[in-house]
Amino acid sequence: MSVEDGKKFNLDLLIQQIGPFGKFQLLNYLLICLPIAMTAMYTLTFVFTAGDLDYRCRIPGCDEGESPSLDAPFLDFTTPKDGDKFSSCEKFLHIPNATVTDQCQADLFNPNQRRSCSEFVYQDDETTILSEWDLGCSEEWKLSLVGTINNVGQLVCLPMTGYFSDRFGRRTAFILGSIFAATFGLIRSFSTSYIMFIIFEFLEPALSAGVYSAGFILGMELVGPERRVLGAFFINVFYALGEALLGLLAMFTRDWRLLMQVAYVPTFLFILYRWLIPESARWLVNMNRTRSAAKIIDRAARMNKSPLTADAKKMLDDALQKNVETEEKSEKLKAEEPIVKEYRLMAALKSRTLLLRLINCSYCWIAICFVFYGMSMNSVTVAGDKYLNFILTCLIEIPGAGICCLFMDRIGRRPMLCISLILSGASCIAFIFLSDLPEAAQLTVFLIGKLNISMSFITIYVYTAELFPTELRHTLLATCSMFGRIGSILAPFTPLLGKYVESLPMILFASLAISSGVFIMFAPETLNKTLPDTLQEAEDIGT
């Protein structure tokens, strides 16, 4: 991109001049972080809306009151035991006797004949779609399907969001995704059937799942290379706080409809971001809209109170004085962008270096998403209070973000990713052998595993964004994230697997974490490298 005097508009130089992370960047990062905290809630609402509850069979002749108790004395002669617990899905055959008034007597139930339940009694302090539509026993798979459908929606959305963001702007994708989430999430809270619920469970992420990646890139393209990790720290702290807030809301509402309404309604306010946050200056430059980018840099320089050198000021002034004809040219280039972008994407896939890098990153994303979300979902099955466990499992991501902030710029992205993945896998293996230890010990080891996988998640976002060029950055980041959704799609079924083989989820988590930690060692290091703008610059990383 050139200004009128023919000099290149050097955005990296200008960002260094205005300050890599000044008041302007800080304010915009804080604004970006609010929708990201909300999207963290939306990603995991199904943990509570489709959560498991304690329930048992409704016993005819015994459960005749309006509010039957979950623990009733007549269970001893009406309900068989599975191990040391009463069965949730079977009851003894009831033999009515019209000659007696009290139908709840031991001699009216045949302990040698079992029957499947058709009606249920649920714990009375919480409601989920399980109790709303009787999804227990043979229908229990429908609860796991909710999380899978949510992640299938994300899988559909991410490549479209990547294209939309690279084509129409990071800010546009960021705001529209938030509004779509609020709209479909609120509609879902009024679902009248499981089918309606599951349809909107798909539609919401299918149109809004790119909010995190759009916000992440929007923020990262505001700052200098030495402050990208700090920016990632802010985003991931707010993401963890959003997840923990979900746990708090679930703890106090205990009602799946109310939980969703409280979580989604505030998101409509983010439509105001059209006037509160700027578009990515780097994206504008890449779209040949240097005049618009220069306005943002000029505003940032004034807000940061950063003096510019004579050359930088000349470069900025020249861009600000570009005539209308030049801006009209950029609109023509914008119209031609889809053809150019398709050509660039094909060129990237034909590059052996970039293709192998994409495959490696994609596998790493699959492993990290499977373990990260799988551990969040399984936290409610760990011994102890499920709400507290979930909140702690989310909050442990904050020290993970702090460790990344301290060490990622010291030891590098690749070593950080490798070490955290292997340690997470090792923690999952250790957890398998701790079933006889106190609850606190089990939870501690579980949290160590989640701490490390959260560090991996933070690192992989920064690392992937730095490995690919500006012209395809969001498209390829979204592609990797799309593959990661394969792991997220499978993760909701791990609590169900744990009911058959208790250690199986942890074995799967450990296997994927350790293997991806080994494979990522073959990718190049990006520490302190300038973000590549072209395919050639991306290929040259690590050479």
288-313 confidence digits (pLDDT tens): 787 787 788 888 888 888 777 777 77
pLDDT for 20 beyond 80? no
pLDDT for 317 beyond 80? no
pLDDT for 370 beyond 90? yes
Q: Determine the Cα–Cα distance for residues 382 and 386; give it in Å rounded to an integer.
A: 7
Q: Could you say which of 66, 100, 125 is where a domain stops?
A: 125
Q: Could you say which of 90, 125, 160 is where a domain stops?
A: 125
Question: Would you say residue 488 lies in a domain?
Answer: yes
Percent of the chain with pLDDT over 90: 28
Name the residue among 214, 215, 341, 237 with its Cα closest to residue 286.
341
Residue 78 sits in the same domain as residue 168: no
Residue 291 sits in the same domain as residue 196: yes
Give the model confidence (pLDDT) of 255-276 as tens digits: 999 999 999 999 999 999 989 9
How many CA atoms, within 13 angstroms, populate the side-chain half-sphere of residue 83?
Answer: 2
386-395 mean pLDDT? 90
Residue 42 sits in the same domain as residue 67: no
Residue 252 sits in the same domain as residue 392: yes
In DSSP terms, 116 is beta-bridged to: 90
User: Which tokens go with 260?
Assistant: 């969703």
Q: Could you say which of 95, 125, 155 is where a domain stops?
A: 125
pLDDT for 496 beyond 70? yes
Question: Would you say residue 133 lies in a domain?
Answer: no
Residue 150 sits in the same domain as residue 93: no
Give the model confidence (pLDDT) of 518-535 as tens digits: 999 988 887 877 777 777
pLDDT for 450 beyond 90? yes
In angstroms, what CA-CA distances link 296 with 135, 280, 315, 369? 53, 9, 14, 35
User: Which tokens go with 356?
Assistant: 């192998």
DSSP 8-state class, residue 73: T
Residue 431 sits in the same domain as residue 520: yes
Question: Would you say residue 1 lies in a domain?
Answer: no
490-519 mean pLDDT? 88
Residue 329 sits in the same domain as residue 311: yes
Residue 399 sits in the same domain as residue 465: yes
Displacement of CA 484 from its chain's centroid (Å): 10
Residue 267 sits in the same domain as residue 313: yes
At residue 1, the pLDDT reads: 40
Give the model confidence (pLDDT) of 35-77 as tens digits: 999 999 998 899 999 988 888 888 887 877 667 788 888 888 8
SS3 219: helix
Residue 329 sits in the same domain as residue 415: yes
Q: Determine the Cα–Cα distance for residues 59 and 47; give it in Å rounded to an integer.
A: 29
- Look up residue 419 and give its amino acid: I
Whole-number average pLDDT of the chain: 83
Residue 62 sits in the same domain as residue 88: yes
Question: Would you say residue 262 lies in a domain?
Answer: yes
For 326-339, the three-class secondary structure string (H helix, E strand, C coil) is HHHHHHHHHHHHHH
Longest distance between any two alpha carbons in the chain, whole Å: 104
For 222, the domain range is: 11-52+139-539
Query: The dihedral of CA 421, 48, 147, 199: what is its sign?
Result: negative
In sequence order, what E strands does 33-159 have?
A: 55-57, 81-82, 85-86, 90-94, 109-116, 120-122
Question: Would you say residue 34 lies in a domain?
Answer: yes
A 10 A CB-CB count for 324 gives 8
pLDDT for 444 beyond 50? yes
Q: Determine the Cα–Cα distance for residues 126 and 122; give it in Å rounded to an integer.
A: 9
* Cβ contacts of 12-16, under 8 Å, gap ≥ 24: 12/224, 12/530, 12/531, 13/312, 13/315, 14/297, 14/308, 14/312, 14/315, 14/316, 15/222, 15/223, 15/224, 15/297, 16/224
**The CATH number of the domain where 21 resides is what?**
1.20.1250.20
Selected residue with higher pLDDT from 243 and 345: 243
Question: Would you say residue 250 lies in a domain?
Answer: yes
pLDDT for 158 beyond 90? no
Domains identified in the chain, total number: 2
Give the model confidence (pLDDT) of 194-252 as tens digits: 999 999 999 999 888 888 888 888 888 888 777 777 887 888 889 999 999 999 999 99
A 10 A CB-CB count for 149 gives 24
Name the residue among 160, 239, 167, 250 with its Cα closest to residue 207.
160
Question: Would you say residue 2 lies in a domain?
Answer: no
Residue 74 sits in the same domain as residue 174: no
Question: Would you say residue 479 lies in a domain?
Answer: yes
At residue 326, the pLDDT reads: 46
Q: Show Cβ contacts of residue 168 under 8 Å, excluding neighbours closer than 6 positions.
A: none
In angstroms, what CA-CA distances link 169 with 27, 242, 387, 451? 20, 25, 38, 33
At residue 66, the pLDDT reads: 67
Residues in the chain, total: 543
Q: With contact defined as beta carbons under 8 Å apart, do 495 and 143 qualify?
A: no
User: Which tokens go with 457?
Assistant: 């998640």
469-492 mean pLDDT? 83
